[in-house]
Amino acid sequence: MTTASSKAQCFICHKDKIVYHCEGCLKDFCLSHITEHREKLRIELNEIKIDRDIFQQAIEQERHKPENFSVIERINQWEENSIGKIKQTAEQCRQMLIKYPNDQLLIVEKKFYQIIEQIKQFQQDNDFNEIDLNQLRNKLTHLTKQLIQPLNISIRHNTLPSAFLNEISIISTAQIKWKQEGTTVIGKNGKGQQLNQLNCPNGIFIDTYKRIFIADRNNHRIIQWKSDGQEGECIAGGYEKGNEIFQLNYPSEILIDQENMSLIIADQGNRRIMRWSIREKKNPEILLSNIDCSHLAMDKDGYIYISDHVNHEVTRWKENETERILVAGGNGKGGQLNQLNNPSFLYVDENNSIYISDRDNHRIIKWRKDAREGIIVAGGNGQGKNLNQLSSPQGIILNHLGQIYIADSDNHRIMCWYEGSREGAVVIGNNRSGKQSNQLDQPHGLSFDSEGDFYVADYANHRIQKFEISFD
């Protein structure tokens, strides 16, 4: 905007003329020079318009950059994967809720059938009194209450680090109890190498036929024992310690490959993993060699998980794959959440989360699939025998509701922990080593049978103990 004024000196020609004042630059110009000044301003405006058009084009280019669409695709993929995981977790929780009453019903039915057999025996022998009848009534009353009691289960929200969405899981505070007096099903004849003896049993597995498979560590063999048998059968090794194809050297763990009807054995002393046919009991083969293998686990997809006690890590491997994949630890020996210290027994759940007996850290640590560090689900409060502590944990097994059972080896007890709880509960053992039926000495491997009875590889007592579900 310019305005005419009285005569004054022009800023350009320095002559006294009628001048026009520019409100923008606050200078005075004669008529000819104000025209030039305005023309310069119009030229500058056009240059700005050109810059504007160029910038508008740049905006459109940015909006349609290929990498933007790539990021959008990644966001879409994240959305799809997240929804998939949520649906998978929800379905698993639903299946748990469906399965849990059925499992509880099986336990009640087992107890009921025992009462039926007891009644038959009384009738057959015609030898019973009021005390016997009162005990039967009390057992029936107890079973009735157990049958109709509401499910003692709930949903737990697990807040994950750096997550905006809580993960849920089903938990049950109902504590299954086992008789504290165990029965020696294998090893009644003490330490030895006969087929009715064991020498430091380590890993244990029970199949649906109640056959018991044992890594009889210091006898360098795998024993199969039928539930009603008086002695076992050597189905792998048993040719003294050695590294020939038919020999084993301190085997520590066994898996049953149902698809191939074969044993997968951690031949720890020979630093190899072997396959041994169950049917033929011959033609063993070496699956992996030159590997420090403490214990093994297998997931639903057939991947084998290997705890490496020398390199303090857990790796995953499948036949026909050339390399093992690191899935836990691998950051040197230590007690941080991304480290392990002498890992031993393993358990893999339906989500491919790995539960690791981190033995010399006196804790159970859980590594979710593809996680960079684990979370402590039991122990982790130093070595000790308090209910929030463990001491050199060994065997580990979970039930279908995620309750964690641990062979707390140096405390000579079996503990049950719920993920997220601050302490566990002792379910078997009394913190003192011993040979009595209610005692353990360095328990190692754990297993359940189809009826829910608990089996413990009682390592230093050279026996397998069976603990039946309790009526009380």
Residues 212 and 261 in one domain: yes
Residues 57 and 185 in one domain: no
Residues 255 and 342 in one domain: yes
Residues 303 and 384 in one domain: yes
Q: Point out the domain boundary residue: 88, 115, 143.
A: 143
Domain range for 108: 98-123+138-143
Q: Which residue has the higher pLDDT, 60 or 376?
A: 376
**Number of domains present in the structure of the chain:** 3
- With cut-offs at 50, 70 and 90, classify the pLDDT of residue 403: confident
- Asked if residue 158 is part of any domain, the answer here is no
- With cut-offs at 50, 70 and 90, classify the pLDDT of residue 350: confident
Q: Point out the domain boundary residue: 48, 63, 78.
A: 63
- Percent of the chain predicted with pLDDT > 70: 88
Q: Is the pLDDT of residue 101 over 80?
A: no
Amino acid 80: pLDDT: 84
Q: Rounded mean pLDDT of 209-217? A: 92
Residues 53 and 117 in one domain: no
Q: Rounded mean pLDDT of 281-289? A: 86
Query: Could you tell me the two tokens for 354?
Result: 């790995």
Amino acid 434: pLDDT: 92
- Asked if residue 167 is part of any domain, the answer here is no
In angstroms, the first-to-last Cα distance of the chain is 100
- Asked if residue 81 is part of any domain, the answer here is no
Amino acid 3: pLDDT: 66
Residues 205 and 318 in one domain: yes
Amino acid 329: pLDDT: 96
Q: Point out the domain boundary residue: 43, 63, 83.
A: 63
For residue 267, which of 207, 221, 327 has the smallest C-alpha distance?
221
Angle at 241 between CA 239 and CA 243, to 5 degrees: 95
Amino acid 108: pLDDT: 74
- With cut-offs at 50, 70 and 90, classify the pLDDT of residue 222: very high
Residues 333 and 403 in one domain: yes
- With cut-offs at 50, 70 and 90, classify the pLDDT of residue 293: very high
Residues 352 and 288 in one domain: yes
Residues 198 and 284 in one domain: yes
Residues 243 and 325 in one domain: yes
- Asked if residue 371 is part of any domain, the answer here is yes
- Asked if residue 306 is part of any domain, the answer here is yes
Residues 59 and 103 in one domain: no
pLDDT per position as a tens digit, 122-180: 888 888 787 878 878 887 877 777 676 655 565 665 555 445 556 655 555 556 788 88
CA distances from 63 to 69, 70, 77, 81 (A): 9, 12, 21, 26
Q: Rounded mean pLDDT of 393-421? A: 90
The answer to whether the CB of 265 falls within 8 A of the CB of 251 is yes
pTM: 0.72
Amino acid 62: pLDDT: 73
CA distances from 2 to 5, 27, 36, 45 (A): 10, 10, 13, 17
- Asked if residue 164 is part of any domain, the answer here is no
For residue 208, which of 446, 400, 449, 398 has the smallest C-alpha distance?
449
The answer to whether the CB of 317 falls within 8 A of the CB of 348 is no
Q: Rounded mean pLDDT of 389-399? A: 95
Amino acid 167: pLDDT: 62
- CA 265, CA 252: separation in Å to the nearest integer? 8
CATH number for 378: 2.120.10.30
Q: Rounded mean pLDDT of 335-344? A: 96
Q: How many residues does the chain have?
A: 472
Q: Is the pLDDT of residue 406 over 60?
A: yes
Q: Rounded mean pLDDT of 18-25? A: 87
- CA 215, CA 204: separation in Å to the nearest integer? 6
How many Cβ atoms are within 10 Å of 98's Cβ, its own excluded?
Answer: 9
Q: Rounded mean pLDDT of 349-370? A: 94
Residues 203 and 102 in one domain: no
The answer to whether the CB of 215 falls within 8 A of the CB of 252 is yes
- CA 104, CA 193: separation in Å to the nearest integer? 39
Q: Is the pLDDT of residue 430 over 80?
A: no
- Asked if residue 168 is part of any domain, the answer here is no
- Asked if residue 350 is part of any domain, the answer here is yes
Amino acid 431: pLDDT: 67
